[in-house]
Amino acid sequence: MHGSRLRRNLLTALLLGPATAWLVVFLVLPFIAIAVFSVGERAPEGGYQAAFTFAQYANLPARATAFWNTMVLAPVGALACLLVAYPVAYYLALRAPQRWRLILLALVVIPFWTSLLMRTYAWMYVLGGRGIPALLAYIGFEDVRLINTPGAVLLGIVYGYLPLMILPIYVSLERLDRRLLEASADLGATPLSTFLGVTLKLSLPGVMTGFSLVMILLLGEYLIPTLLGGGKVFFIGNALVDLFLQSRNWPFGSAIAITLVLVSVVVLIAANRISTRVSGARRVDLI
Amino acid sequence: MTAVPDIEFRGVTKRYGAVTAVSGIDLAIPPSAFVALLGPSGCGKTTCLRMIGGFEQPSEGQVFIRGQDMAGTPPYRRPVNMVFQQYALFPHLDVEDNVAYGLRQARPRLSSREIASRAGEALEMVRLAGYGRRKIHELSGGQQQRVALARALVNKPAVLLLDEPLAALDKKLRTDMQIELQNLQREIGITFVLVTHDQEEALSMSDFVCVMNGGRIVQLGQPSEIYDEPADLFVADFVGKTNLLSGTVAGHSGDLVEVALADGTVIAARKRTALQQGEAVSVSLRPESLSLGARTDSPFKGIVRNRIFLGSTAEYAIEVKGIGTLLAKADHLIGHGNLFKPGEPVAIGFASGTPLAFAETKNNGANQRVDKHVEIIS
């Protein structure tokens, strides 16, 4: 009896071992390193010099613009994504004919198999001088500027992150018991109030999962704004690249990174709270 | 007699592609009746209920609710409410908000005080006062069932629709709920339309049973009529247990026919359908109409193969040579004082009633006229 339990524990440890080792080496240790760096000082020739100071954190306002831009980009981008994704997910889960559903779902995911960088470059051409503006000029609309505008950035973000928003919403809508919609109609609710009172509320866990997922990724996003926005507006992502690779101020970069992680955690907890309260679900599934 | 029926079907047909689920149904349900739509799965009973609720539209014909043609009227504008199979309670709302859901949809809006008091009354009616703030998943199956009832009845519908409402409950609870539903219907006095595949449930609860098969109404009548005077072979077989013996018509005498069974035995049976001399028939013998004993004038003699003790009665499977196995129900306490044992030879006689004879080919022309239905029910 005792032996078999020991064997079972050993097996559990063996199965969990690789994943644990992976997380320790590539997540926990780097995180500790960053945390240690963030209270250090920049060495004269760049990099890290041991110290214990909160000077780096005190210096955060120096990058306030980048923080501010990111804090606007992330929620606005996630919201734009949500507004586009919800109708798509709704159609896929509740309206699309059963036999087309898988194919349509695959069409949502397939673009993901190409690198985001590649797809963003493609958008540069589509929105650039020889793309849509050229077409518009052909039919008489001269001098339309699309590339290097906030609109182009938003478009790129929605395009790039759409599947991450669609899939969790699709899953929660797909799981929705259709008889609840009938029950709501039976009790006198118009289609609109059924949507607001039942469908939307019960799909909120999916919405919150998608929203927090996209928003957290957008907190570190800098590629799309650089390529489609002309690189005139700086984000935390740009700041991190700059601080770690160019000006080699690792401690300050680390302080920014730690702050970003804390913000992400706050976003996640808030999203979880909201969807738990409204939908009555006991947890949020992170996919 | 002249009252406008609560529910009326006129020539209603429902097709799904090439499949006809409901085929030319005429039916009128008068006010304050408890009607069961009974039939095997796929007989069209649920489709009928969903057409009353407005979740399906008839392909042909019309559905009337209290004299109003419901064509094109969506579910949320119909004066009926449904208790769904597995209840379909809103998991994100507590008990009181589930019950108040319909009241909150009312236009012009009801005051929150009125909503609260009516929801409270409805919960009291189903004996769930004090459960208002519970979450749905914290309730037992029986309690959820009662919340579903309260949620539907709080809107004071003209007709309450019940879609297999007791199917998810265990047997004891089901019996309790049957009585509770009956009492509730009498108390409120509105029409209940119950869909069930459980003939016992249909017979015990409803004032009228509408037996359906293959998208048609096969028989409509009071429970005792359905049981004692089945319209055809299907009803005889589906409602209650019965022994069906094959034979041929050997002679006529008034309402009775003489049927020669497979082993040559000739028994007298009452005919339920027109029968020709020499026609193949099935004779229905209810297990409780058979008596077991050592009498010599019994038409059948057999050997007990199996015994199921049921408390006040016992069921026997008796093998009769040339006929097959007959099921007999014996009231052992009053009758013989002791039980027959497997392997024991017994004589089988008729204790009560006359066997019924049906034509072998199924009678499918059983769609009776509306006025006849109204007559039967009122």
Q: Tell me which chain A residues have a C-beta less than 8 angstroms from the C-beta of B79.
A: none
In this structure, the answer to whether residues B40 and B103 fall within a common structural domain is yes
- Report if residue B1 sits inside a domain: no
Helix (H) or strand (E) holding A212: helix A204-219
Q: Tell me which chain A residues have a C-beta less than 8 angstroms from the C-beta of B54.
A: 185-186
| Whether B210 contacts B373, CB under 8 Å | no
In this structure, the answer to whether residues B252 and B216 fall within a common structural domain is no
Checking if the pLDDT of B377 tops 80, the result is no
Window B:145-164, CB contacts with A under 8 Å: 151-152, 155
- Report if residue B132 sits inside a domain: yes
The label of the residue with tokens 């339990």 reads: A5
Give the long-range contacts of residues B106-115, CB within 8 A, separation 24 or more: B106/A188
Angle between the N-to-C axes of helices B141-153 and B95-105, in degrees from 0 to 180, rounded to the nearest 10: 20
Tell me whether B173 touches chain A (CB under 8 Å): no
The label of the residue with tokens 């069921």 reads: B315
Spatial distance between the Cα atoms of A268 and A74, rounded to a whole number of angstroms: 13
- Report if residue B262 sits inside a domain: yes
- Report if residue B2 sits inside a domain: no
Spatial distance between the Cα atoms of B148 and B163, rounded to a whole number of angstroms: 11
Checking if the pLDDT of B276 tops 80, the result is yes
In this structure, the answer to whether residues B316 and B343 fall within a common structural domain is yes
Spatial distance between the Cα atoms of B93 and A279, rounded to a whole number of angstroms: 8
Whole domain around residue B193: which residue ranges?
7-233+365-377
Identify the weakest region by mean pLDDT among B67-76, B131-140, B262-271, B364-373: B364-373
B92 and A182: CB-CB below 8 Å? no
Angle between the N-to-C axes of helices A64-90 and A204-219, in degrees from 0 to 180, rounded to the nearest 10: 150
B105 and A278: CB-CB below 8 Å? no
| Whether B217 contacts B38, CB under 8 Å | no
Checking if the pLDDT of B117 tops 90, the result is yes
Q: Tell me which chain B residues have a C-beta less than 8 angstroms from the C-beta of A185.
A: 54-55, 74-76
What is the structure's pLDDT at A87? 96
CATH code for position B63: 3.40.50.300
Q: Tell me which chain A residues have a C-beta less than 8 angstroms from the C-beta of B77.
A: 188
CATH code for position B298: 2.40.50.140
In this structure, the answer to whether residues B242 and B334 fall within a common structural domain is yes
Nearest CA in chain B to A200: B92
Phi, psi of B262, rounded to the nearest 5 degrees:
-60, -35
DSSP summary character for residue A27: I
Question: Which amino acid is located at A141 in the chain?
Answer: F
Q: Tell me which chain B residues have a C-beta less than 8 angstroms from the C-beta of A281.
A: 92
A78 or A4: which leads in pLDDT: A78
Checking if the pLDDT of B3 tops 90, the result is no
| Whether B151 contacts B89, CB under 8 Å | yes
In this structure, the answer to whether residues B61 and B79 fall within a common structural domain is yes
A186 and B74: CB-CB below 8 Å? no
In this structure, the answer to whether residues B204 and B282 fall within a common structural domain is no
In this structure, the answer to whether residues B137 and B124 fall within a common structural domain is yes
What is the structure's pLDDT at B289? 86
B266-271 vs B356-359, strand pairing mode: parallel
Checking if the pLDDT of B103 tops 50, the result is yes
Average pLDDT on A80-92 reads: 96
What is the structure's pLDDT at B376? 39
In this structure, the answer to whether residues B124 and B186 fall within a common structural domain is yes
Q: Can you spell out the DSSP letters for B254-315?
A: TTEEEEEETTS-EEEEEESS---TT-EEEEEE-GGGEEEE--SS-SEEEEEEEEEE-SS-EE
In this structure, the answer to whether residues B201 and B273 fall within a common structural domain is no
Tell me whether B76 touches chain A (CB under 8 Å): yes
3-state secondary structure of B179: helix
- Nearest by CB to residue B90, choosing from A180, A186, A188, is A180
- Nearest by CB to residue B75, choosing from A186, A202, A281, is A186
> Please, which residues have CB within 8 angstroms of residue A248's CB and are 6 or more apart in sequence?
A42, A46, A47
What pairs with residue B80 in β-bridges? B159
A187 and B76: CB-CB below 8 Å? yes
What is the structure's pLDDT at A72? 87
Identify the weakest region by mean pLDDT among A104-108, A124-128, B250-254: B250-254
A198 and B90: CB-CB below 8 Å? yes
Tell me whether B133 touches chain A (CB under 8 Å): no
B81 and A198: CB-CB below 8 Å? no
- Nearest by CB to residue B135, choosing from A177, A183, A280, is A280
In this structure, the answer to whether residues B297 and B200 fall within a common structural domain is no
Q: Give the number of other Cβ atoms within 10 Å of residue B347's Cβ.
A: 17
Task: Dig out the tokens for A257 from the structure.
Answer: 């990174």
In this structure, the answer to whether residues B103 and B176 fall within a common structural domain is yes
Q: Tell me which chain A residues have a C-beta less than 8 angstroms from the C-beta of B102.
A: 187-188
- Nearest by CB to residue B106, choosing from A180, A184, A188, is A188
Residue A234, min C-alpha distance to chain B (Å): 42
Average pLDDT on B264-279 reads: 85
The total of structural domains in chain B comes to 2
What is the structure's pLDDT at B157? 95
The label of the residue with tokens 């028989």 reads: B219
Question: Which amino acid is located at B248 in the chain?
Answer: T
B101 and A190: CB-CB below 8 Å? no
- Report if residue B266 sits inside a domain: yes
Residue B77, min C-alpha distance to chain A (Å): 6
Domain ranges of chain A: 63-279
A188 and B155: CB-CB below 8 Å? yes
In this structure, the answer to whether residues B85 and B165 fall within a common structural domain is yes
Checking if the pLDDT of A89 tops 90, the result is yes
User: From start to end of B2-59, where are the E strands?
Assistant: 7-16, 19-29, 34-38
Spatial distance between the Cα atoms of A43 and A45, rounded to a whole number of angstroms: 5
3-state secondary structure of B56: coil
Tell me whether B138 touches chain A (CB under 8 Å): no
Spatial distance between the Cα atoms of B153 and B133, rounded to a whole number of angstroms: 19
Q: Tell me which chain B residues have a C-beta less than 8 angstroms from the C-beta of A193.
A: 105
State pLDDT tens for residues A48-58. Answer: 888 888 888 88
A187 and B135: CB-CB below 8 Å? no
Helix (H) or strand (E) holding B146: helix B141-153
What pairs with residue B34 in β-bridges? B192
Residue B364: band (very low, low, confident or very high) from pLDDT cuts 50, 70, 90: very low
The CATH architecture assigned to A63-279 reads: Orthogonal Bundle (1.10)
| Whether B218 contacts B272, CB under 8 Å | no
Residue B4, min C-alpha distance to chain A (Å): 23
| Whether B4 contacts B175, CB under 8 Å | no
